[in-house]
Structure formats: structure tokens, C-alpha cells
């Protein structure tokens, strides 16, 4: 059911990045998406993200995400114009409502809603990209250096989640064999059947957890300094990607501070491109962010680059 959401090893370039570089790059993308309001910048970021998704051959997964986010996007587009009254260019005078007063729809609010829905799509696509590129275990092992116990809890839970769903299915089947019908009856009856299921699940899985604890104890958990099972190598490609993300972040902060990349929706729409610097800053940011995409392309096409990075 949720197959697409799982990380799958496809042997593509982006998946071979060091987890730190990958997480930093994705985090940078996220910060930039939440920072910019200029529609041009948001669209540019979305373009880079989509290129990355293409580079990990994740179109099918992305389509699922797109379908899921579509309803939220539409909601954002509808709610914004209806609620916001600060836009000056009113394009529709609506009826009077008891609490809210007269409904008005302004051009500015519609544009803002559209920009925000692009932002929403970009943010969700970043998470789609994250699920496609970064192995959960790698991030957890990165985390384990700083917070070993929390990382252990999280990785145990991640590992047991699919098993738990399978076990739940097992219990459900056993219950069904004994004549319990999970579909029939009122909500209350169905709830009580599900709760009985959870009851059994709780008992048996907590029993299992004590076994896991004994296995950990037997493997000397907590008896001294932790050893490290997995070593990720830091390669030139990671430095390049990290450098690109840092450059993009620095230029973005510069652009925001100087006002090159800002855009005001209210009370009236500002100029999309107030000066040449807006375009320059945008191009630098997009180029810096597309380092992984370019490297990925080179990695596939050019043996020399592949050998060097």
C-alpha cells in the first residue's frame, strides 16, 4: 500500500552522497523554500527539486505525493482570498456573512494563495526527494553520534513498524477465523473489536520488547563506549554538494537582506523583477543548488567525472 514511500536502493548518484551532505542539501532547500515568497524564486526552487527527483528516477513516487498535496494546495488557494482583506485590487464582491462581514476576493490574495500553494508543493516535493534519496538507517547512524539512545529508539521503532503491521494483520486474520467480523456493526462495536486487537498486540509486542532488551543486554549494550558499525566515506562529490548548498544559502541571505529577492503581495502586488540583481541572485542560487543534478548527469554520462568524484 505504501510501497512508493519506502526508500529503495536504485544505485543512482544522489543516493551515493554522504548522509550529512544529502541532509544538509535537502535542509537548505527546505529553508530556502520557506524563506522566499517571490513566485519566481519559488518556481525556480520547485524546478531544481523536480530535476533532482528526475535524477533519482522518482517520478512515479512524486505523482503520488502530488495527488496527495493537490487537495491541500486547492484549500490554500481558496482559503487565502476568502480570509484576507488587505489586498487593494478587489475582483469579486461577495455576499455578507454574519461573523466575517462582507466576502471580498482580491487579486493580491489570489496571487498569494497561488504562490503559497507552489511553496506547499515544493516543500512536499522536498520530502518526497528525501524519502527517495536518503536511507533512513544512514541518517539514524549519523544521529547516533550525537544522541545514541534516541537514535536507537528510533531505529528500533523503524525496524519494528512493518513487522508490527504484519503482526496486526496476523491477529486480525486469527480473529476473523474465530468469527469476529471487523466490517460489520456500529462504530462502537467496530471500535471495541479493534481495541481487542490492540490489546493482544500490546501484550505480545511488549513481551517481544523484553526479549529484544535481553538480546541487547547480551550484546553488552551500555557497557562502555559505543562502537561504530558503519562508516560512510566523504568524497569530493559531497564537498561539492555541501559547497553548493552553502553558497546558495549565503547568496539567499544576501539577497533577502538587500531586498533583491523579496516580493510584496500586499497591499498591491510588487514588481516581479524590480532590477537586474533579482535575476542575478536567482541564477546564482539555482546554479549552486543544481550542483547535485549536474554531477548526477556527469556521473552517468562521463567516465572521467565519475572517476574523479
Q: Which residues bind another protein (CB under 8 A)?
A: 2, 5-6, 30-31, 34-35, 37, 65, 68, 76, 79-80, 83-84, 86, 100, 112, 116, 119-120, 123-124, 127, 130-131, 136, 147-150, 152-154, 156-158, 160-162, 164-165, 168, 188, 191-192, 194-195, 198-199, 201-203, 205-206, 208-210, 212-213, 216-217, 221-222, 256-257, 262, 265-266
- CB of 261 vs another protein, minimal distance in Å: 10
- CB of 304 vs another protein, minimal distance in Å: 36
In the bound state with another protein, the residue whose beta carbon lies nearer, of 263 and 299, is 263
- CB of 149 vs another protein, minimal distance in Å: 6
For residues 190 and 110, give the distance between their C-alpha atoms in angstroms, rounded to a whole number.
Answer: 44
Determine contact, residues 305/298, Cβ cutoff 8 Å: yes
In the bound state with another protein, the residue whose beta carbon lies nearer, of 151 and 287, is 151
Find the helix or strand (DSSP H, E) in which 307 lies: helix 303-308
C-beta pairs of 271-278 under 8 Å, 24+ apart in sequence: 272/38, 272/39, 272/40, 273/40, 278/38, 278/40
For residues 165 and 205, give the distance between their C-alpha atoms in angstroms, rounded to a whole number.
Answer: 11
In the bound state with another protein, the residue whose beta carbon lies nearer, of 86 and 239, is 86
Tell me the CA distances in angstroms from 111 to 37, 47, 83, 118, one per residue in order. Answer: 11, 19, 14, 11
For residues 140 and 4, give the distance between their C-alpha atoms in angstroms, rounded to a whole number.
Answer: 21
In the bound state with another protein, the residue whose beta carbon lies nearer, of 12 and 103, is 103
- CB of 307 vs another protein, minimal distance in Å: 34
Calculate Rg over the CA atoms of the chain: 25
Determine contact, residues 123/104, Cβ cutoff 8 Å: no
C-alpha distance across the termini of the chain, in Å: 37
Q: At a CB cut-off of 8 Å and minimum separation 6, what does 209 contact?
A: none
- CB of 301 vs another protein, minimal distance in Å: 31
In the bound state with another protein, the residue whose beta carbon lies nearer, of 215 and 280, is 215
In the bound state with another protein, the residue whose beta carbon lies nearer, of 85 and 235, is 85
Find the helix or strand (DSSP H, E) in which 105 lies: strand 101-106
- CB of 40 vs another protein, minimal distance in Å: 15
Amino acid at each position: 500500500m505504501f510501497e512508493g514511500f519506502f526508500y529503495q536502493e536504485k544505485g543512482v548518484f544522489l543516493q551515493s552522497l554522504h548522509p550529512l551532505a544529502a541532509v544538509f542539501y535537502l535542509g537548505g532547500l527546505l529553508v530556502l523554500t520557506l524563506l522566499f515568497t517571490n513566485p519566481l524564486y519559488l518556481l525556480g526552487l520547485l524546478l531544481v527539486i523536480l530535476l533532482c527527483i528526475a535524477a533519482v528516477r522518482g517520478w512515479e513516487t512524486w505523482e503520488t505525493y502530488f495527488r496527495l498535496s493537490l487537495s491541500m494546495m486547492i484549500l490554500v488557494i481558496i482559503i487565502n482570498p476568502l480570509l484576507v482583506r488587505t489586498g487593494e485590487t478587489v475582483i469579486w464582491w461577495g455576499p455578507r456573512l454574519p461573523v466575517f462581514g462582507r466576502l471580498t476576493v482580491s487579486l493580491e490574495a489570489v496571487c498569494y494563495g497561488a504562490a503559497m500553494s507552489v511553496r506547499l508543493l515544493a516543500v512536499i516535493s522536498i520530502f518526497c526527494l528525501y524519502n527517495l534519496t536518503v536511507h533512513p538507517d544512514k541518517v539514524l547512524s549519523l544521529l547516533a553520534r550525537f544522541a545514541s539512545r534516541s537514535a536507537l529508539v528510533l531505529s528500533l521503532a523503524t525496524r519494528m513498524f512493518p513487522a508490527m503491521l504484519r503482526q496486526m494483520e496476523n491477529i486480525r486474520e486469527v480473529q476473523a477465523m474465530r468469527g469476529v467480523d471487523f466490517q460489520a456493526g456500529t462504530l462502537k462495536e467496530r471500535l471495541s473489536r479493534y481495541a481487542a486487537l490492540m490489546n493482544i498486540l500490546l501484550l505480545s509486542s511488549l513481551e517481544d520488547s523484553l526479549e529484544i532488551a535481553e538480546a541487547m543486554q547480551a550484546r553488552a549494550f551500555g557497557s562502555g563506549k559505543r562502537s561504530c558499525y558503519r562508516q560512510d566515506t566523504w568524497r569530493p562529490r559531497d564537498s561539492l554538494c555541501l559547497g553548493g548548498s552553502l553558497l546558495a544559502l549565503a547568496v539567499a541571505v544576501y539577497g533577502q537582506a538587500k531586498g533583491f529577492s523579496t516580493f510584496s503581495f500586499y497591499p498591491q502586488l510588487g514588481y516581479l523583477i524590480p532590477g537586474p540583481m533579482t535575476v542575478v541572485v536567482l541564477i546564482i542560487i539555482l546554479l549552486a543548488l543544481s550542483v547535485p543534478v549536474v554531477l548526477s548527469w556527469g556521473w552517468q554520462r562521463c567516465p572521467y567525472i565519475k572517476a574523479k568524484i
